[in-house]
Chains A and B, each alone.
Chain A
């Protein structure tokens, strides 16, 4: 089964917010993404990647001042296969990471699902996120 492995928060001050979650829950810093869409801090609890980001574009249509939970990401075995499935289910493809400067350990494709909720899919784990259970991966290979 695909796994929820990424959660992104839109912050005005990613540094201060990341510091809070590091102190509060001992989440570990695993990266400093600096991409065409956002800058910020990647944290990990050992299973999920928690991205605390200052976005550079209005991906949600809620304005550049939007602060709060932004999107989530699902780790899948095969991005192309899931792209077809999501299209068939009516999700709207938004953007591919490969269209710009691909950053390993980040999203691969973004979609808008029902009610324009934004989510990512990737077949390579986000930085600091746990891979799919080995037996599932082996079965797929």
Chain B
């Protein structure tokens, strides 16, 4: 089964917010970045990536001042297969990660009611992979 492995929060001050969650829950910083899409931090609880980001574009149509939970991400065995499936179910393809970067989102979709989510077939940095049986399925597909 695909796995929820990423939660992203839109923040005005990612440095301060990341510090709060590291102190509060012991989450570890695994990556800090400044990309064309966002500046901020990736924390992990060992299983899930918690991204705390200042976005540079309005991906969710709520304006550049929006702060709060932003999107989530699902780890799947095969991004192309899921892209077809999601489009078949009416999700709108929004954006592909074009730099071949591994450890972040790979494809973004808008699902029902415009809710944004990512799918990736490589785990977000610092997060758990798919279950072993599913990893075997992925290997078999490659």
Contact = CB atoms under 8 A, between A and B. Distances in A.
A45 B82 CA distance: 16
A45 B17 contact: no
Interface string A1-21: 111100101011100110011
B126 to A, nearest CB: 12
Contacts of A117: 9, 11, 17, 67-69
B23 interface: yes
B113 A47 contact: no
B92 interface: no
A20 B3 contact: no
How many of chain B's residues touch chain A, expressed as a range? 35 or more
A127 interface: no
Interface string B108-139: 00011111100000000000000100000000
A26 B81 CA distance: 14
Interface stretch (B34-42, B70-78, B97-105): B70-78
B13 interface: yes
Given A20-B89, A25-B1, A50-B4, A115 B13 contact: yes
A24 B68 contact: no
Given A1-B46, A45-B4, A117-B67, A24 B89 contact: yes
Interface string B79-108: 000100110011100000000000000000
B26 A46 contact: no
Contacts of B23: 89
A47 to B, nearest CB: 6
Interface in A101-133: 113-118
A99 to B, nearest CB: 22
Contacts of B116: 68
Contacts of A89: 20, 23-24
A115 B72 CA distance: 19
A138 B76 CA distance: 32
A111 to B, nearest CB: 9
B7 A4 contact: yes
A45 B3 contact: yes
Interface of A: 1-4, 7, 9, 11-13, 16-17, 20-21, 23-27, 45-48, 50, 60, 62, 67-72, 74, 76, 82, 85-86, 89-91, 113-118
Interface of B: 1-4, 7, 9, 11-13, 16-17, 20-21, 23-27, 45-48, 50, 60, 62, 67-72, 74, 76, 82, 85-86, 89-91, 111-116, 131
The 9 nearest A-B residue pairs measured at CB:
A69-B69, A25-B2, A2-B25, A4-B48, A114-B17, A17-B112, A48-B4, A115-B67, A1-B26
